[in-house]
A and B are shown apart, each in its own frame.
Chain A
Amino acid sequence: MSSWAIIQQSLPLFQKGFFITLKLAALGILGAIVVGSICSLIQYFKLPLLNPLVTIYTEIARNTPLLIQLFFLYYAFPQLGLRLTASQCGIVGLIFLGGSYMAAGFTGGFEGISSSQLEAGQAIGLSRWQLARYVVLPQGLALSVPALAANIIFLIKETSIFTVIAIPELTNTALDLIGMYYHTNEYLVVLVVAYAIILIPLSLILTYLERRVRYGTFGN
């Protein structure tokens, strides 16, 4: 059988994996953005009680491998009576890891706002919350777009680790096929192309968005 035929035969399975990767990544990234923005606001306003909790969470999440986080969710949590499906574990793991990265991205953006902008806002009588809403958020979000874009790409690539808890996403599909049929080269080529199809256009779109947002907000 020619390589091309092998590849063609595998495509339906890869197609399934492709959409599973996309779906889990999308849900994980959305969740990470929500968690990250909440954590970052807690840190920005230094909310009592919550602020130290956020610090503990982000330090743990950023300084442990996703692989180990997934093992905990998949193997240890059921012992504690919390049983999640593999896909749920994947999404929760990605949100847990991604939330901390997104928080750091937003925080970097908020801290990038010049103090004179904040003083100009204070000088017209804005309250703390109004300052957040009309000055810090719009400018800080624009400043954090590059970091968010990098995190999005990073999190999509991290979904390949889901293979260790047997989620049939792209990498798992490839490894399975290789295990069954030994056409290593062919399946790896498909795998690489599949990731490239997701990541290269996305990366271009995100770069374009970065520039648009930057110009729309700061005019340069």
Chain B
Amino acid sequence: MSTPLLHVNHLEKYYQKTHILHDVNFELNTGEVLTLLGPSGSGKSTLLRCLNGLEAYQQGSITFDGQAVTQKPKQWQQLRQQIGMVFQSYDLFPNRNVLENILLGPLKVQKRTRAAVLPEVQQLLEQVGMADYANAYPRQLSGGQKQRIAIVRALALKPKLMLFDEVTASLDPEMVRDVLNIIRQLADSHAMTMLVVTHEMDFAKQISDQVLFLADGRIREQTPGKQFFEQPQTERAQNFLASMDF
């Protein structure tokens, strides 16, 4: 049996006295896609942010790629190069063009040469259909285009794990499909290991190897993908799926 890429063990998270995450446990193997589902405020995004050092956790442990996470800033700085994250609000840097946005990490953080990185970036841009936009500024792009660039910006660091935090939540419906297709493609043809928070149930059903259903900061169901959608065990999950109406 191979060791999992990500192992989350008895994770507890508080904001002051509010208990946000209760005893979260799961494992994620290389190449697997895990979706985090649950109602708003259930702690999905917080959990994702804990996995990228944007939120501290108070108890429990995370092991990534055989390495125990210490929560020290220096270590997170290292780990973030291997754990890419894409946000709901894209957050491209407005003062840098598309190429400069993408190259910042590989050139300044990873100290790779422009000549080595550029062909990879070109290829990524082609994959997401944005090859003609290398010199455009974020203000000239639509939401869907910005999100595709944000995905490339994260992929350019060659991460082992990608975290997607409701990346289609602020997009127009027709753009949602483009972005979801890119993520699906990543899972299928690149076997990228991913943790996805989403409210797109059809997409989640297609892509999930594993589903974590969270409510009130607790994992209520932890099942293989298909099973969650076809035979949800808990009443919470049944209600949740009924309310999503997909």
Contact = CB atoms under 8 A, between A and B. Distances in A.
Q: Do A and B bind each other?
A: yes
Interface of A: 116-117, 119-128, 130, 134-135, 138-139, 142, 216-220
Contacts of A122: 53-54, 76, 80
Nearest to B102: A124
A154 to B, nearest CB: 27
Nearest to A128: B73
Nearest to A217: B95
B52 interface: yes
B91 A117 contact: yes
A87 B87 CA distance: 55
A210 to B, nearest CB: 15
A134 B54 contact: no
Interface of B: 52-54, 73, 76-78, 80-81, 84-85, 87, 89, 91-95, 104-105, 108-110, 137-140, 150, 153-154, 157
Contact of B80 (A117, A124, A139): A124
A181 B84 CA distance: 76
Contacts of A119: 54, 87, 91
Given A134-B104, A219-B138, A219-B139, A125 B94 contact: no
Nearest to B92: A120
B240 to A, nearest CB: 27
Contact of B93 (A125, A128, A134): A134
A13 to B, nearest CB: 47
Given A125-B105, A130-B108, 9 more contacts: A119-B91, A120-B92, A123-B52, A123-B84, A123-B154, A125-B80, A125-B157, A127-B77, A139-B95
Contact of B78 (A120, A125, A218, A219): A125
Given A116-B91, A130-B109, A135-B93, A123 B80 contact: yes
Contacts of A135: 93
Contacts of A220: 139
A218 B95 contact: yes
Contacts of A216: 95
B95 A123 contact: no
Nearest to A119: B54
Contacts of B91: 116-117, 119-120
Given A117-B91, A126-B109, A218 B139 contact: yes
Nearest to B73: A128
B94 A123 contact: no
B54 A123 contact: yes
Contacts of A116: 87, 89, 91
B53 A134 contact: no
B104 A124 contact: yes
A47 to B, nearest CB: 16
A218 B94 contact: yes
B109 A124 contact: yes
A184 B246 CA distance: 84
Contacts of A125: 77-78, 80-81, 105, 109-110, 157
Nearest to B52: A123
A117 B93 contact: yes
**A-B residue pairs, 6 tightest by C-beta:** A219-B139, A120-B91, A124-B105, A125-B109, A123-B85, A125-B80
A220 B92 CA distance: 15
A126 B73 CA distance: 11
A181 B92 CA distance: 65
Residue among A122, A124, A130, A135 with max Cβ neighbours from chain B (10 Å): A124
